[in-house]
């Protein structure tokens, strides 16, 4: 099931979401920055007290809402996705782990309800997203410090805003930072139906780059192929097709890729390396197969291939908040021009989190699970 990404067109989805937002916003008041916690029991959050299977350790709890200090912002969360990194964090298998107990969720969008007296960057009514991982977005509302948030335009689709801060940023940086690509150059990637993969396809198309997109075979492969090609994918291949001798004919009509993006590892990453142009780079940003990346000696010596890694959290540490803000606004520009859309998604209310978690870990699911907070 493709979920809302395929059942409704973007304009229709957005009109429906505007109605939802109006309903969610009724009764909000920004008159007093210290009046946010009139009803502490209204705050609901998905909390885990120890690491393990998300289906077993995540619980829906009521939390108290902290008073708003001078540099704080009271935020009503609107929507938050479930990403693979969220699952890994709950399992304890991630490079950044919050102090327990913790609220799940690293990404999402909320609307400012009230601000402290010294807050200057955002105002009531603005939309905001997390500046860094670990904020805990799977909750109905919270009080955050101003520096933990980044304002985004409120005229972009809600699903685009909710899924803006992780996957599109990763896609943009990998397409920008490792090879000097020019229009007509080729990029090859695996896990092409993932959130990052769909963003890569669209950002590459906006730049005039050609893409070879590898996916796992599945019963609805033609439906997936059509979906990715509608985003701008030039070629969509299964892992099995990538290994065939006939692949050499593909490069009669297009250049060999100079950049490979690997989110799988194992045999899949080995195949990406095999098709890279001499001097090319493979960037690994995930390991879905939980198998090591294997490169032959001949590929490294005679083709001078480069193996790199990318982690958005590390990129943020190495760059200023202003540079991340610039990246976000660049992506918002692509969204505004219709060159970048949210991944196919399925929406579930916060109280149905068990279904959402289960669906997010199910194989061959091409829709991202988004928790809505109303």
Copy the structure tokens of residue 109. Answer: 């969008």
pLDDT one-digit tens code per residue, 47-105: 999 999 999 999 999 999 999 999 999 999 999 999 999 999 999 999 899 999 999 99
Neighbouring CB atoms inside 10 A of 218's CB total 14
Topology agreement, domain 43-165+343-372 and domain 167-313: no
pLDDT one-digit tens code per residue, 229-269: 999 999 999 999 999 888 888 888 899 999 999 999 999 99
Nearest to 327 by CA among 194, 176, 209: 176
Find the catalytic residue in 48, 94, 172, 285: 94
State the greatest distance between any 2 C-alpha atoms of the chain, in Å, as a whole number: 68
Nearest to 36 by CA among 116, 120, 149: 116
Q: What is the pTM of this model?
A: 0.87
Contact in structure between 347 and 73 (CB atoms under 8 Å): no
Architecture per CATH, 167-313: 3-Layer(aba) Sandwich (3.40)
Average pLDDT over residues 131-140: 96
Is CATH 3.30.420.10 the right assignment for the domain spanning 43-165+343-372? no
Copy the structure tokens of residue 14. Answer: 């957005």
Per-residue pLDDT, 189: 98
Per-residue pLDDT, 120: 96
How many whole angstroms separate alpha carbon 252 and alpha carbon 299? Answer: 21
Nearest to 197 by CA among 165, 175, 222, 221: 175
pLDDT one-digit tens code per residue, 162-188: 999 999 999 999 999 999 999 999 999
48 is catalytic: no
Break the chain into its structural domains and give their ranges. Answer: 43-165+343-372, 167-313
């Amino acid at each position: 099931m493709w979920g809302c990404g395929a059942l409704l067109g973007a304009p229709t989805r957005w009109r429906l979401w505007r109605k939802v937002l109006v309903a969610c916003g009724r009764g909000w008041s920004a008159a007093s920055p210290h009046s946010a916690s009139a009803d502490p029991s209204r705050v609901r959050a998905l909390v885990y007290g120890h690491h393990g299977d998300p289906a077993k350790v995540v619980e829906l709890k009521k939390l108290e809402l902290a008073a708003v200090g001078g540099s704080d912002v009271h935020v009503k969360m609107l929507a938050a996705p479930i990403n693979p990194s969220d699952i890994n964090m709950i399992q304890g298998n991630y490079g950044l782990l919050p102090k327990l107990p913790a609220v799940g969720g690293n990404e999402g969008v909320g609307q400012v309800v009230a601000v402290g007296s010294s807050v200057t960057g955002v105002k009531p009514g603005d939309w905001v997203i997390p500046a860094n991982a670990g904020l805990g977005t799977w909750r109905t509302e919270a009080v955050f410090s101003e520096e933990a948030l980044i304002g985004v335009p409120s005229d972009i689709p809600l699903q685009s805003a909710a899924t803006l801060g992780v996957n599109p940023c990763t896609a943009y940086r990998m397409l920008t930072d490792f090879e000097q690509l020019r229009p007509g150059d080729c990029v090859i990637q695996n896990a092409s139906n993932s959130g990052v993969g769909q963003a890569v396809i669209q950002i590459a198309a906006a730049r005039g780059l050609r893409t070879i997109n590898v996916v796992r075979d599945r019963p609805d492969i033609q439906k997936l192929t059509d979906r990715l090609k509608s985003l701008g994918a030039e070629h969509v291949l299964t892992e099995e097709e990538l290994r065939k001798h006939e692949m050499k004919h593909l490069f009669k009509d297009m250049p060999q890729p100079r950049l490979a993006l690997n989110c799988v590892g194992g045999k899949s990453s080995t195949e990406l390396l095999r098709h890279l142009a001499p001097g090319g780079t493979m960037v690994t940003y995930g390991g879905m197969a939980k198998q090591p990346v294997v490169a032959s000696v001949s590929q490294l010596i005679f083709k001078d291939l480069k193996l790199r890694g990318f982690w958005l959290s590390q990129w943020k540490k190495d760059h200023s908040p202003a540079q991340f803000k610039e990246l976000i606004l660049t992506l918002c520009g692509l969204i505004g021009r219709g060159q970048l859309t949210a991944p196919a998604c399925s929406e579930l209310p916060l109280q149905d989190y068990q279904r959402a978690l289960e669906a997010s870990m199910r194989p061959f699911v091409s829709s991202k699970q988004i928790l809505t907070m109303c």
